[in-house]
Chain A
Amino acid sequence: MTENYLIDLMGDLDTKFLENEYPERDIQMQKTIAKRKRTLTPFKKGNVFVISDTLYRTINEQRELYDNIVAYEPVSERAAHAKAQVKEKVDAVQAKMKALVAVVSGIVAMLVVIISLVRMVAKKKWLSKLFGKRVQTA
């Protein structure tokens, strides 16, 4: 199917597919860009800097957020809260380290016991061998 035939057929497209707002959206986007460009033009002497609506809204939202979260909590309380959180984390790390040391020392102790047992058995065998040989020679 050639492009020109498709363009021609599109002329009779069902109007329900045209109830979208693609061109309107494009125009709106162009307006927004133009508006933003206007607000971003370099500041010249005599020009009055006007904050755009979006920026004004964002600033207000940030301010509200700050008021809700930070402003109602005094600095000393905020510091105590932070300290408690740090302590909690340090405790957790220390506990982990302790557990690790315990496991490692347990394994080392087991190894020592096993090695000494082996050595004992080996020694016994060697002695019996030695005596056995002596008896034979005698």
Chain B
Amino acid sequence: MTDEEILSLINKKNQLGLSLLAEKYEKLLVYIAAGILGNHVRDIEECVNDTYFKFWKNAEKYDYTKASLSTYLKVIVRNTAINRLRDVKRHEDRTHTEDVAELASVLPDVSVNIENQMMRRENVKKLNKMIASLPEKDRELMIRKYYYMQSSKVIAHAMSMSVTAVDSRLSRLRTKMKNEFQLI
């Protein structure tokens, strides 16, 4: 079943479309959510279900000329997983094991201040430029680490590098970014 066929079924609000979407992309979505949320099956399941729900609600807004369906779903699941981590930070009384709480603690609570929003938009532009200028390998490292939030061990295994090499390369890239953004 092609993405277009699945999309047309979902646009007609046919539930079969959703099951076909799940059949085709569930593994991918679970993999991305697991990379961010750790081995918390319940959180991962909820995150993936939220992703389906969000897509079901906003399917008509999806423009396949801008991005492929898998990319669109990747963006939704990544941001849903990050939001879930933020929830963990907000509700610290929730029972979570250390690693997720630790991960959540590094995520910022973004202020809705207009000035901040404008600065953020500028920084996003800069970031896109920087990522575009990076060599393919460095770009993959950055995206894996800061977009999919994969651990150095996972990255090292996927890119056939040593963990030390991944860490040192990331550290160099962070310094480069820091200089570029001229921020602390």
Q: Which of B31, B67, B71, B131 contacts A27 (CB 8 A)?
A: B31
Contacts of A12 in B (CB 8 A): 120, 124
Q: Mark B158-184, 1 if CB is under 8 A from A, else 0.
A: 100000000000000010011001011
Of residues 13 to 72 in B, which have CB atoms within 8 Å of A's CB atoms?
27-28, 31-32, 35, 66-68, 70-72
Of residues 16 to 47 in A, which have CB atoms within 8 Å of B's CB atoms?
16-20, 22-27, 29
- B128 within 8 Å of A (CB atoms): yes
Q: Are A20 and B143 in contact (CB under 8 A)?
A: yes
- B149 within 8 Å of A (CB atoms): yes
- A1 within 8 Å of B (CB atoms): yes
| Chain A interfacial positions (CB closer than 8 Å to B) | 1-20, 22-27, 29
- List 28 interface pairs A-B (beta carbons < 8 Å), by A numbering: A1-B181, A6-B127, A6-B174, A6-B177, A7-B107, A9-B127, A10-B127, A10-B146, A11-B78, A11-B82, A12-B120, A13-B128, A14-B128, A15-B66, A15-B71, A17-B128, A18-B74, A22-B140, A22-B144, A22-B148, A22-B158, A23-B28, A23-B31, A25-B158, A26-B154, A26-B158, A27-B27, A27-B31
| Chain B interfacial positions (CB closer than 8 Å to A) | 27-28, 31-32, 35, 66-68, 70-72, 74-75, 78-79, 82, 106-108, 110, 120, 123-124, 127-128, 131-132, 139-140, 143-144, 146-149, 154, 158, 174, 177-178, 181, 183-184
